[in-house]
A and B are shown apart, each in its own frame.
Chain A
């Protein structure tokens, strides 16, 4: 059934409180952090959790925060880190992502082999995803 598109946050539902959502995200992150890269389980888990969050975010089943009417002129500052990251990622990608010119993911992969680090980063990814769904 189609949900109203202007559903905004009013009274938080019990499951929508940080006391519920944070432990759920932690549990999901711990599970995801144990799955090794290139495995079928890791693919299914990342695609499944992301797909479920996209479904929640597109079907208006989760209350959203009111959107900003317009952005201030200072919004242009956000272009700076995007350009800096893009220049380094683009140039290292073009140069073949070698040890001397590593892309961001080539630098991150060894760190993500550790289960704890992987779970912490997984938590960051899922938390940001949940934040986007609520917007």
Chain B
């Protein structure tokens, strides 16, 4: 395995590990860090007029993620 490939793998694992650490930290009592679910819910509240832009955007992104990994 080349050094660059190892570096890339470590980088992606670090990002995933950071998500796990932040989610864990958010569940501590009186934590100032919101959970990932709360961040998503906050983003999904965003509307332009009566159009739920945040909701449509997050649903669309997650839909694309599934299609990208499972269908193509």
Residues of B within 8 A of A80 (CB): 18, 22
Tell me the interface secondary structure of chain A in the complex. helix
| B9 interface residue per 8 A CB criterion | yes
Q: A54-B59, A67-B45 are in contact. List 14 more A-B contacts (CB 8 A).
A: A37-B72, A45-B70, A46-B71, A50-B62, A53-B63, A58-B55, A72-B33, A78-B36, A81-B18, A101-B5, A126-B66, A131-B37, A132-B58, A132-B59
Task: Select one of B5, B42, B68 contacting A100, CB under 8 A.
Answer: B5
User: Contact: B52 with A58, CB < 8 Å?
Assistant: yes
For the complex of A and B, 10 pairs with smallest distance between CB atoms: A74-B33, A74-B32, A85-B15, A81-B18, A50-B63, A88-B11, A135-B41, A46-B71, A84-B15, A72-B32
Interface size on A, residues (CB 8 A): 56
Chain B, range 11-57, C-beta contacts under 8 Å to A:
11-12, 14-16, 18-19, 22, 25-26, 31-34, 36-42, 44-45, 52, 55-56
